[in-house]
Amino acid sequence: MAKVYYEKEIDKQVLQEKKIAVVGYGSQGHAHALNLRESGYDVVVGLRPGKSQQKAEEDGFKVYSVADAVKVADVVMVLLPDEHQTEVYEASIKPNLQSGNAMAFAHGFNIHFNQIVPPSDVDVFLVAPKGPGHLVRRTYEGGAGVPALYGVFQDVTGNAKQLSLAYSQGIGAARAGVLETSFQEETETDLFGEQAVLCGGLTNLIKAGFETLTEAGYQPEVAYFECMHEVKLIVDLLYEGGLENMRYSVSDTAQWGDFVSGPRVINDETKARMKEVLSEVQSGEFAKGWILENKANRPQFYAINALENQHPIEKVGKELRDLMPFVKQPLQATKEKQKDVNVHVTN
């Protein structure tokens, strides 16, 4: 079994003497900055002027420009969107890194695909939480954590591994388990997982189920509860105890249907498509396409996003969720608060 690190094996001292700049205050950035601070570390935030800056200041952080945050820090965690990291790195991070500093990432994309080539005199490591940033924060606040992978790309000081483990502890990941990886393994498995299973696989499975039921004449509300709402309840059982635990709770009829019909929906053909997706990730074809899409200002991204938001499951889902206020977790509340802020700003 792979070596998994937990809290008590980790030496925190190596990071306690350092100042950490969290660059970016979005999904991961706010979670890292708040969790690290509550774990006793010295954290500043690096941002451009805008809504994240306002939020980080409201949360009590000293907020600098990216350049100034890098200047005052020993460890710089880059939590900007992958597609903006290269330009910000060239303009504001690289010129201000000092020999012996550490630069860190939550995803290996830009290092692995050579979009960022770090100077040879800084440590470069990865702490990649295996979960969305808002859950990195929410689980930490609840006394738990989201597991993470750590990896070292460059170890100049001899401390890169200890720094990455201490950082993982600081964000709460060592409560759940921290596992060694390489930038290559993290990048390729993460891209594959989000495309084929967690995001692309799941959303398309849900939509196909919803469409199959509604096209057969069943009520959209019934199809929504069956194919979207209940996914969370089933996934909770998988999260808590794996396949066996979920199958223990569902009826034997459902379990029999799982055995005989599941493999007809997700089958060898699906697995062959998954292998295609993985090959495109491994060869860099996916990365190249995403980089070019951004250079062209995302024409396909925005067009597909607009269509997806108009899918009938979104309309019925919104109506039903409005009648179930208890499902509105803090992320929804944050998004709604943000809309209010934007209205004030644009007015």
Ligand X SMILES: NC(=O)C1=CN([C@@H]2O[C@H](COP(=O)(O)OP(=O)(O)OC[C@H]3O[C@@H](n4cnc5c(N)ncnc54)[C@H](OP(=O)(O)O)[C@@H]3O)[C@@H](O)[C@H]2O)C=CC1
Ligand Y SMILES: CC[C@](O)(C(C)=O)C(=O)O
- Name the helix (H) or strand (E) containing 76: strand 75-78
Pick out residues in 41-80 that bind ligand X (CB under 6 A).
47-48, 50-52, 66, 79-80
Establish whether 107 is a catalytic residue.
yes
User: What is the nearest approach in angstroms of ligand Y to the Cβ of residue 136?
Assistant: 9
Distances (CA, A) of 139 to 58, 135, 176, 230, 325: 21, 6, 10, 21, 21
**Residue 27 annotated in ligand binding:** yes
Query: How far apart, in whole angstroms, are the C-alpha atoms of residue 205 and residue 191?
Result: 18
The tokens for 4 are 């998994």
Note the residues at the interface with ligand Y (CB under 6 A). 131-132, 190, 194, 198-199
Is 52 labelled a binding residue?
yes
Out of 5, 20, 24, 111, name the contact with ligand X by CB under 6 A.
24
Binding to Mg ion (CB under 5 A) within 192-221 occurs at 194
Q: How many CA atoms lie within 13 A of 276 on its CB side?
A: 6
Of the candidates 33, 106, 246, 287, which one interacts with ligand X according to CB under 6 A? 106
3-state class (DSSP) for residue 276? helix
Partner from ligand Y, ligand X, Mg ion, none binding residue 186, C-beta < 5-8 Å depending on class? none
Q: Is 39 annotated as a binding residue?
A: no
Q: Is 133 annotated as a binding residue?
A: yes
> From CA 251, how far away is CA 245, in angstroms rounded?
12
**Residue 108 is a binding residue for ligand X (CB under 6 A):** no
Q: Which stretch binds Mg ion (CB under 5 A): 56-64, 71-79, 188-196, 334-342?
A: 188-196
17 annotated among ligand-binding-site residues? no
Residue 71: name its binding partner from Mg ion, ligand X, ligand Y, none (Cβ under 5 to 8 Å by kind).
none
In this structure, the strands spanning 75-78 and 19-23 are parallel
The residue from 30, 32, 107, 112 that is catalytic is 107
Characterize 129-161 residue by residue with b for buried, 16 or more Cβ atoms within 10 angstroms of its Cβ, and e for exposed. Answer: bbbebbbbbbbbeeeebbbbbbbbbbbbbebbb
- Determine which residue in the list 59, 68, 132, 294 makes contact with ligand X, applying CB under 6 A: 132
Helix, coil or strand: residue 273:
helix
**Quick one: tokens of 219?**
């009520």
Q: Which amino acid is at 17?
A: E
Which residue's CB is nearer to ligand Y, number 97 or number 148? 148
- For ligand Y, the nearest residue by Cβ is 194
Answer yes or no whether residue 29 interacts with ligand X by CB under 6 A: yes
Question: How many H helices and E strands in the chain?
Answer: 18, 9
The yes or no reply on residue 148 touching ligand X (CB under 6 A) is no
Binding-site residues for substrate: 251
Binding-site residues: 25-28, 48, 52, 133, 190, 194, 226, 230, 251
Active site residues: 107
